[in-house]
Structure 1
């Protein structure tokens, strides 16, 4: 067994009611060195999530009992691990909704299994990179009533914990560490997603909008100010 495979010990939950798709995903992820659990319904998935601390969840949108986006909203009440949606629904509104309610990525069916593995690796690597690169001199960053706990990887506002998915946490942390200057959409995308933006401003805008909603900041610009057609500025 290679050193590369030995380093991968992440636990992944695959939620899909199509046994053929589950088998393919499980095979490729297992061959890549991941520990894989599966669920065919949202109810079964919730039970497994209560029993196991998963590092990443792959989630179909259409499930037999209740919708995968509804399941994602429930997951986000307690977990911040990356959630990757897979679905045959490829219209823009469904994709944007999946991202707004807490999804970190969206993969259209049919998909190439190796591409899915690459997306899994990218999301896990990004999360690990943010933790590794967090400032070592302090366990907390704060401004006014907002606190980022770098040790626990959680955010507090007025001493109330705010549950953020990894993407939104990383966007906030990136802004927090670069206050009072314009951060272009492309810069945010390339740092957080570790890929060239190729003009993809919409993805950043959706996640920042979701972040501002959770910070109760959309109407006040207390923390994040929109710089029209350019990007954002984090205010201290």
Structure 2
């Protein structure tokens, strides 16, 4: 909702908005540092590895992170064009795509519940697509609205592919999966997603528009403060 408010109040930087979706990855260094210190206390006489993730799993996380970066952009572009209600419903079709790709990639079985969810979400998205004028924001062309709808749907499809791909990477990574490895995997994913979005910001010259950047940060801060006091 905050991202949508940014665009409603004159924000134009889609790559900047997409970058902020994963830019908080350094906070994961805190639990990873705690896990590292715990391992050192358990084995003080042996060399303790700083990171447990193996190169093969690291590469998989990096590739998935690149896909996540592009997915962030698709989602941010959709939010810039669609109302929150519409974008939330369209992105909900992610469940259908996740179920389909999970069946293809990791042989996840369908159940009555998953089939019911797939049918309902697909029908709901179809109804929205047939009525694209009802909630189109003012001063936004039909073409822009349709493009935002398509980008949001593409974001749902791509993320529905990413989630089973993560599970496939865990299975094929040739490494025992524990809490620390999962956290490192997520950190690498977020890092590379942020790199992709940062490159997009550089290409779009977002760093040269300081007023837009600081306006976005101030908008988030004051929105948070107002929500706390409410």
Of the two structures, which has the highest relative contact order with CA contacts closer than 8 Å and spacing of 6 or more?
2
Whether TM exceeds 0.5 here: the answer is no
TM-score, scaled to structure 1 = 0.21
Is the helix fraction higher in 1 or 2? 2
Look at both structures and tell me which one has the larger radius of gyration over its CA atoms.
2
